[in-house]
Amino acid sequence: MNGENRKDTSSGTVHIDDDKIFWDYKGQNIVRVDVKDVVVIGEYTNSDGPYFDDWFLTFVTRDGQWQSIPWYAENRGELQKYLTQRFQCNFNVSLLTGSFEWNSLVRFPAHLEGKTLFVLLPTEKYKAPKNLFEKILSSMGFGGFDTTKYVLLTDDVKNEVNNACR
């Protein structure tokens, strides 16, 4: 405290019950993943740190939907141990350690490990600043810039989901 800038230390809590993964935040269940439906597991980072969660574990289910849990959630060790045993893949380490920008990759299944999980596509209104002056304007909310992008599963991941549904 004392005027220090600190990350909100609450990244919620993760727990496993009856082959379901739950992530609770501020007393409410936010994510529930039925492990039997998981087809792909990945991780991604963004540039929101150090004050906000910027590193996530993502579960893609056979219906093509995905949900993410912050890597910093309490009981993460329990989740890592469970996933390592259940999927026979080492979840005890991250492959994105040290990444401070947007990045994503697949952890499971093994034949996709290391491939990109998500692709970012600019929205229809996308307009990025092109030079330092425009970046300064954009940071102050001027210039009508819009750097919003869609977050979509890659074709490799979509194919894995489609194959799981057969």
22, 43 Cβ separation under 8 angstroms: no
Look at the block and give the residue holding tokens 């425009």: 134
Most distant pair of Cα atoms in the chain: their distance: 58
pTM attached to this predicted model: 0.82
Mean pLDDT in each 10-residue stretch from start to end of the chain (166 residues)?
A: 47 93 93 96 78 80 94 89 93 76 91 94 86 86 84 95 85
CA distance 155 to 99: 23
Among residues 82, 101, 100, the alpha carbon closest in space to that of 92 is found at 82
Give pLDDT, residue 48.
Answer: 59
Q: Which domains does the chain have, with CATH numbers?
A: 13-118 (2.30.29)
Which tokens belong to 134?
């425009």
CA distance 65 to 62: 7
The reply to whether omega before 109 is within 30° of 0 (cis) is yes
Give pLDDT, residue 3.
Answer: 42
CA distance 74 to 53: 13
Give pLDDT, residue 5.
Answer: 41
